[in-house]
Amino acid sequence: MRGRHRFAIPFLQYLDTHGEVDVPLPAWTSDIERLQKLYEQMVLARTLDQKAVALQRTGQLGTYPSTLGQEAVGVAIGLAMQADDVLVPYYRDAIAQILRGMPPENILLFWGGEERGSDPGGASQDFPPCVPVATQLSHAAGVATAMKLRNESRVTLVTCGDGATSKGDFMESLNLAGVWQLPLVVVINNNQWAISVPLKQQTAAQSLAQKAIAAGIDGTQVDGNDVIAVYDAVKTALDKARKLRQPSLIEAVSYRLSDHTTADDASRYRDQKELNVHWAEEPIGRFQHFLHTRGYWDEAREKALQAHCRETVDAVVAAYLAAEAENPEAIIDYLYAFLPAALEEQREAIGRKAEVLNGQENPGA
């Protein structure tokens, strides 16, 4: 092998941490409604998220992973993808799923302990949120392989956290995307914490985007709290995958303002001072400042939006709480396309046991 290769990782940021701009904005930002929608959806995401946490605290929801502070990443993905693209999400992508057509109450159903909550509604080929870290990367590479083999112009987008980049599945999938030139976009939501492990204990690499270099694909780092930058990077990557069949990796640098999940207590391992610094850089405040400065937003709109979000979330919670119980046999009915003869007795036993449990819960019923 001859020669030495030099690489650079581009960093994309339009809004600084105060929401000020001193670089030319991408052309699509002339679409003011799009900018407003990005903002509105971030606010909706946060309202729904905080409601989900409240539901968990009051015993009405199971363990839930908050997306507080990472709204820009989910909203950008949800709005940038086409309907027939496929999203392969990890477990912090609620707003992206909702923007692709998932009834929001399904997010609550999923974390409330119902398999039905993984139903994405409109985008029926999307995957359910993936809990085993990084395993979804190779599903996405497989979906993208099918798209490529069929010569389609659709794109697969997969998300993961910063912790996932330490796993083999991440690198194996990136590697394959390079070798097979798959229509795949990988977005790392680098919120800088994998439960209690900070990024510097996850990797010695200067960026996560540079992991793309080893796979021979493009890697870009973006300010993950700058929704213009994230949207622009995702859109560019989707276009490149769609038109040129080239994969890419985006590292969206954000920050997890919440605990890992409602079962976690970040004060055990994270300094409040650090948290304060990052609160000052969160995505919604800075984008609101930008919109105000440009005259695209005002108090009246903000008031109306807040009311709309409250009403929407109340309706979502009502729909969640009113969801009819699934029949107990569902726990075995979807195991195979057809119930094997060997399981018929167990299916009957499930029904009987559910009746007994139901009788214990409702004596006299």
Partner 1 sequence: MNKPGLELSVPDTESVTIAEGTLVEAVTLALRYEMARDDCVVILGEDVGVNGGVFRATEGLQKQFGSNRVLDTPLAEGLIAGISIGMAAQGLKPVAEIQFMGFIFPALEQIACHAARLRNRTRGRLSCPLVIRAPFGGGIRAPEHHSESTEALLAHLPGLRVVVPSSAYKAYGLLLAAIRDPDPVIFLEPKRIYRAQRQRIPNDGQALPLDTCFTLREGTDLTLVSWGAMISECTQVANDLATRGISIELIDVATIKPLDMETIVTSVKKTGRCVIVHEAPRAGGVGADIAAQVNEQAFLELQAPVARVTGFDTIMPYARKEDIYMPNTIDIQSQIEKTLNFS
Nearest-approach distance from CB 305 to partner 1, in angstroms: 33
Nearest-approach distance from CB 313 to partner 1, in angstroms: 25
User: 71-80 vs 227-244: helix axis angle to the nearest 10?
Assistant: 40
Nearest-approach distance from CB 201 to partner 1, in angstroms: 23
- What CA–CA distances, in Å, run from 61 to 7, 17, 89, 255? 46, 34, 21, 24
Amino acid at 137: L
CB nearer partner 1, residue 2 or residue 150: 150
Give me the DSSP letters along 268-280: GTS-HHHHHHHHT
User: 59: Cβ–Cβ under 8 A, 6 or more apart, which residues?
Assistant: none
Helix (H, G, I), strand (E, B) or coil at 130: coil
* 151 belongs to the binding site for partner 1 (CB under 8 A): yes
Binding mask 286-325 for partner 1 (x = CB under 8 A): ----------------------------------------
* 116 belongs to the binding site for partner 1 (CB under 8 A): yes
Pick from 4, 19, 29: nearest CA to 235: 29
Beta strands in the chain (DSSP E): 11-12, 86-88, 156-161, 184-190, 193-194, 197-198, 218-223, 248-253
Look-up of token digits 């394959």: 176
| Binds partner 1 (CB under 8 A): choice among 8, 27, 83, 149 | 149
| Binds partner 1 (CB under 8 A): choice among 41, 97, 106, 145 | 145
Q: Which two tokens stand for residue 302?
A: 């903000």
* 125 belongs to the binding site for partner 1 (CB under 8 A): yes
Count the Cβ atoms, other than its own, within 10 Å of residue 106: 25
* 147 belongs to the binding site for partner 1 (CB under 8 A): yes
Nearest-approach distance from CB 179 to partner 1, in angstroms: 6
Residues with catalytic function: 256, 260, 269
- 48-56, 130-138, 224-232, 294-302 -> range binding partner 1 (CB under 8 A): 130-138
Binding mask 166-205 for partner 1 (x = CB under 8 A): --xx--xx-xx--x--------------------------
| Binds partner 1 (CB under 8 A): choice among 3, 59, 340, 363 | 340
* 164 belongs to the binding site for partner 1 (CB under 8 A): no
Q: How far is CA 128 from the centre of its chain?
A: 11
* 144 belongs to the binding site for partner 1 (CB under 8 A): yes
Q: 189 - beta bridge partners?
A: 161, 252
Name the residues that contact partner 1, by CB under 8 A.
86, 88, 115-116, 118-119, 124-125, 127-128, 132, 135, 137-147, 149-151, 156, 168-169, 172-173, 175-176, 179, 330, 334-337, 340-343
